[in-house]
Chains A and B, each alone.
Chain A
Amino acid sequence: MSLIEVKNVRKGFGELEVLHDISFQVDKGEVICLIGPSGSGKSTMLRCINLLEDIDAGEIDVFDQDISELKDINSYRRRVGMVFQQFNLFGNLDVLNNCVLAQIRVLRKDRKEAEARALKELQKVGLGDFVHAYPSTLSGGQKQRVAIARALCMDPEILLFDEPTSALDPEMVGEVLNVIRQLADEDMTMVIVTHEMGFARDVADKVIFMDEGVIVEEGRPAQIFDQPKYDRTRQFLARIL
């Protein structure tokens, strides 16, 4: 069954239409990688799924519900985690409290329970020793791993990654991708916007190539990377690989 169903979505900013008639599906446990040149609408698509942007036409169904008709957006967002390119950690809170805050405020857990969970997720991403560090003292890779742990603390059923390694120094990309890889092994449903082609080939069940607001082609990684059907895909891959 499909967890996410995107149907004929259109979205523009003013005069500029960035998504033209986008449709795709994500099944439970599937990992989808969205690839394509900058400005092709990948991030916008992702942000629409989390209602950070609204769509102009079409429909997005998540958990068998049209998300534009949701009454309680906050409880929907809790089930759909998001990891951002710029990490967006809370600067006033240490690593532990970055992971604790929403558990207390949204899930209404007591502090002890929330801290235990936060610690578990932080250990999972390899940052168990950094609970009292403030975001400003961490490296980019560490920040992004905290951001992933923070999202995991909410028990999301879907995780959305918006270019999670694009703001990182090259030597830190690996540590973040390894964490995502581990989540893929645990059958987390994920939609990942990425420029890391090796990673996409490795981890994705399905790769979607977008260009200029349309899906050019989609398929299994081997098919997209080794036998692309369209010239546009071929040209993009030739440029980036």
Chain B
Amino acid sequence: MSFTKCIEILAKYYPSFLLGIRTTLIVAITGTLLGLLIGLFVGGVRAIRLDKTVSTSKRIMKRILDIIARIYIEVFRGTPMMVQAVFIYYLVYTSLVRWDKMTAAIFVISINTGAYMAEIVRSGIQAIDPGQNEAARSLGMSSMQTMMDVILPQAIRNAFPAIGNELIVNIKDSSVLMIISITELMFQSNSIAGTTYRFTETYFLTAMIYLLLTGLSSILLGMIEKKMNHTRTSLPQSDTSFSSISLANKGAKS
């Protein structure tokens, strides 16, 4: 492998690499966020524990939702994303609409991530002491209010490292989406390697770029995590979901 060749390839093909980076980041980031959204919903449903006072019809409904959630999680964790990508892309393309490849890619990575996120969110919720749930309910809050205001904020904070991990995984694993030929980094690298016939150098560069992307994400996630933990322990003007606390503080002192 020659480093001068590497630099030559980079100098000549950097626009292609940049396009690849752009697509990879778009797919990975939106996929992680949409996946988190799916995970919050599916994981939230899975984690709900019904009180004894809940009606039978709601119980049955919860049971059905549980089963659907289980199947969804098992199917999407248990099959390769590459297979999901081709299958779903062609299935929709031939039987429903001629959809755009980028949409298909984001759709696939989102539901794939959602299956993992659902489990992350569920375990995050279940790790919160049930006493807090009882306390909120004893104040008259509904189970939905308790979930949104008390349980989920803490579950997300506790699960943040695992959630962030999914972003890093997605940056790397979005490479399999080249199978439906979106212009992400791996796809771009293949075409560069195909033109230059310099496979080692090209894929070395590709590896370095992935490492750079995941490394930067790692640092960024670490910073966010630190900031989140900071709000929990620091005393002054820390605020979470509410505003105007400083007002009350002034009131308290005057």
Our pick among A96, A106, A118, A137 for the contact of B139 (Cβ within 8 Å) is A106
Say whether B134 contacts A52, CB under 8 Å.
yes
Say yes or no: is A86 at the interface (Cβ < 8 Å to chain B).
Answer: yes
Shortest C-beta distance, A132 to chain B (Å), equals: 6
Say whether B252 contacts A102, CB under 8 Å.
no
Digitize B124-163: 1 where CB-to-A-CB distance is under 8 Å, 0 elsewhere: 0000110110111111111001000110011001000000
**Residues in chain B near residue A128, CB distance under 8 A:** 252
Say whether B238 contacts A132, CB under 8 Å.
yes
**Residues in chain B near residue A86, CB distance under 8 A:** 129, 131
Chain A binder among B29-37, B63-71, B176-184, B243-251: B243-251
Most buried by A among B129, B157, B235, B242: B242
**Residues in chain A near residue B234, CB distance under 8 A:** 134
**Are A74 and B242 CB-contacts (below 8 A) given A91-B132, A132-B249, A147-B135?**
no
Say yes or no: is A222 at the interface (Cβ < 8 Å to chain B).
Answer: no
How many residues of chain B have a CB within 8 Å of chain A?
A: 39
Say whether B157 contacts A133, CB under 8 Å.
no
CA distance A47 to B241 in the complex (A): 30
Say whether A106 contacts B140, CB under 8 Å.
yes
Closest B residue to A72 by CB, please name it.
B140
Say whether A73 contacts B242, CB under 8 Å.
no
CA distance A50 to B157 in the complex (A): 30
Say whether B245 contacts A97, CB under 8 Å.
yes
A-B contact count (CB 8 A): 128
Chain B binder among A109-117, A198-206, A231-239: A109-117
CA distance A106 to B129 in the complex (A): 22
Digitize A73-89: 1 where CB-to-B-CB distance is under 8 Å, 0 elsewhere: 11111101110101111
CA distance A54 to B53 in the complex (A): 8
Our pick among A50, A97, A118 for the contact of B138 (Cβ within 8 Å) is A50
CA distance A136 to B39 in the complex (A): 28
CA distance A116 to B243 in the complex (A): 14
Closest B residue to A100 by CB, please name it.
B242
Shortest C-beta distance, B240 to chain A (Å), equals: 6
Q: B11-35: which residues lie under 8 A (CB-CB) from chain A? A: none
Say yes or no: is A9 at the interface (Cβ < 8 Å to chain B).
Answer: no
Closest A residue to B143 by CB, please name it.
A74
Our pick among A90, A111, A119 for the contact of B150 (Cβ within 8 Å) is A90
12 contacts between A and B (CB under 8 A): A50-B138, A54-B52, A74-B140, A75-B140, A81-B139, A86-B129, A93-B240, A101-B139, A101-B141, A137-B233, A150-B139, A154-B139
In the A-B complex, the 3 residue pairs with the smallest Cβ-Cβ separation, listed nearest first, are A78-B140, A88-B135, A102-B139
